[in-house]
Amino acid sequence: MTVPAPDAAAPRPGRNARSAGRALAIQWLYAWEQNRYQDDGHLVTAEALDDAGEAGTAFAAELEPGVVANRTPIDAAIDQRLQNWTIHRLSVIDRQILRLGAYEILYREDVPPRVAINEAVELAKQFGSEDKTPRLVNGVLDRLARDHRPEAFAGKAKDGGAA
């Protein structure tokens, strides 16, 4: 029997619990899709759970089922905002990052859209398949947020007034 380190309940230094939870949710979602949309109870490692900490794991446990339950409308919302591309042509990890960000924008009123976008961009930097993934994530989620929650952007015109 292994005894967890005293700080095992805390997320890795430099990350808050919600950021750690988002990173864990991405790992869950990636494994879930790779496992052909089945949750066999072994989607992430014990190390990933420890890295997220107790609060991060709890937050991920809120996010992951929300994304799974709303995957069809989330995918449609993302597809509408991809230019010359479809969600199913994206890498699995990039698709999951977009799904998580879109879920927070569309269904989590407790998360400001700018936070959802920034967190997704950070996940894209950490996990994304290409160097340009953060730009793609930022562009798609920004368009989604401006369409779905325009009040969060009121009075803050982008690029000299083009909203």
Written as one string, the DSSP assignment of 4-18 is: PPTTTTSPPTT--HH
Give CA–CA dist 117/139, Å, rounded.
9
| Residue numbers of the domain that contains 118 | 17-37+44-149
* Residue 51: band (very low, low, confident or very high) from pLDDT cuts 50, 70, 90: confident
Query: How confident is the model at residue 42, as a pLDDT?
Result: 55
pLDDT of 9 > 70? The answer is no
Q: Residue 107 belongs to a domain with what CATH number?
A: 1.10.940.10
Query: How confident is the model at residue 10, as a pLDDT?
Result: 44
Q: What is the pLDDT of residues 56-87, one digit of tens each?
A: 999 999 999 999 999 999 999 999 999 888 99
What is the pLDDT of the chain when averaged over all its residues? 85
Give CA–CA dist 151/3, Å, rounded.
48
122 found inside a domain: yes
The percentage of residues in the chain with a pLDDT greater than 70, rounded to a whole number, is 80
160 found inside a domain: no
78 found inside a domain: yes
Q: What tokens appear for 55 in the block? A: 């609060």
Query: How confident is the model at residue 146, as a pLDDT?
Result: 97
Q: Average pLDDT for residues 24-46, to the nearest whole number? A: 76
Nearest 5°: phi and psi at 127? Answer: -115, -15
Q: Average pLDDT for residues 122-139, to the nearest whole number? A: 96
12 found inside a domain: no
How many CB atoms sit inside 10 A of residue 83's CB?
Answer: 8
Query: How many domains, in total, are found in the chain?
Result: 1
Do 29 and 93 touch, CB atoms closer than 8 A?
Answer: no
State which H helix or E strand residue 101 sits in: helix 92-107
Its pTM stands at: 0.83
pLDDT of 50 > 70? The answer is yes
